[in-house]
């Protein structure tokens, strides 16, 4: 340390003198309108050094700007790159979710014997009067009225109209929709009717054993829907009425609010009247 001080004592002394002089000049200038003759001489001596330091600083900034760009430009570039990365990430996540949904549809289709075709949901009608969706398959894909529509989770509905490139599907929760069903546990049969948001069972005798949590399946009677497709689960049972039948509420297995892909089942057995199934 001492050797370094001895070697550079002149530079250290000059720097110390410069700092002391500038401090003296600044402190006195705050209280005076004009500098003294000594302060003017000091400013004249210090100015070349200040100018050199300023030029060196400007040079360093210029080199940095040429190599890396200006700070504002760099910030804007980083923000743009960050936005692009977020967009790519969102797109990747959407493709991943879509692949998962399609894998479930493929797995479901492989477990069934019926011939099916996949379709995308391109429109939703969720008014209080009508519950339906529009899919991107139509008569050009051999889709016709009466065909059953399902998802990997359960029954969706039935095709009611078809154009060359699209079809309208009446959901099983629509008030006009009826479906022949049975409980998985006891095989008790009943007509499932839509009520806008969920379903209820019609004409289920008080003697039939139905409990909350029972899984509801298609019975395969009446045509249209093959046997054994999941419809929903029983959420409420009421046998306290004076009628011959019990009141049973059912929650559908399919989340219609987030439905994006479906399967249309080709079947040669069409119901004689739409959209009612008879047990």
Contacts of residue 205, defined as CB under 8 A and 6 or more positions apart, other chains included, come to 244, 245, 246
Look at the domain 178-257 and name its fold: Thrombin, subunit H (2.40.10)
What's the CA gap between 57 and 69, in Å, rounded? 16
On the CB side of 269, CA atoms within 13 Å amount to 10
Could you state, in order of their start, the residue ranges of all structural domains in the chain? Answer: 178-257
Cα 105 to Cα 102, 118, 120, 154, distances in angstroms:
5, 8, 12, 11
Answer whether 0.85 is exceeded by the pTM: no
pLDDT in tens, 86-101: 776 666 666 666 667 6
pLDDT in tens, 151-206: 989 999 999 999 999 999 999 999 999 999 999 999 999 999 998 889 999 888 88
């Amino acid at each position: 340390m001492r050797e370094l001080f001895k070697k550079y004592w002149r530079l250290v002394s000059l720097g110390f003198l410069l700092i002391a002089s500038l401090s003296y000049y600044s402190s006195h200038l705050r209280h005076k309108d004009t500098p003294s003759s000594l302060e003017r001489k000091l400013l004249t001596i210090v100015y070349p050094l200040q100018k050199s330091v300023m030029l060196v600083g400007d040079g360093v900034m210029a080199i940095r700007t040429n190599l890396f760009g200006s700070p504002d430009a760099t910030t804007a570039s980083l923000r743009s790159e960050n936005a692009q990365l977020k967009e790519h990430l969102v797109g990747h996540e959407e493709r991943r979710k879509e692949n998962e949904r399609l894998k479930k549809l493929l797995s479901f289709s492989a477990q069934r014997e019926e011939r099916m075709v996949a379709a995308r949901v391109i429109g939703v009608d969720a008014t209080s009067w009508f519950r339906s969706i529009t899919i991107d398959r139509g008569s050009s894909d051999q889709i016709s009225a009466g065909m059953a529509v399902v998802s990997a989770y359960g029954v969706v509905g039935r095709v009611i109209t078809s154009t060359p490139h699209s079809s309208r599907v009446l959901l099983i929760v629509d008030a006009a929709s009826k479906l022949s069903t049975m409980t998985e546990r006891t095989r008790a049969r009943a007509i499932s009717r839509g009520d806008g948001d969920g379903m209820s069972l019609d004409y289920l005798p008080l003697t039939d054993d139905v409990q909350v949590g029972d899984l509801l399946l298609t019975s395969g009677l009446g045509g249209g829907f093959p046997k054994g497709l999941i419809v929903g689960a029983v959420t409420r049972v009421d046998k306290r009425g004076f009628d011959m039948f019990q009141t049973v509420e059912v929650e559908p297995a399919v989340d219609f609010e987030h439905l994006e892909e479906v399967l249309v089942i080709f079947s040669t057995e069409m119901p004689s009247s739409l959209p009612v199934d008879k047990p």
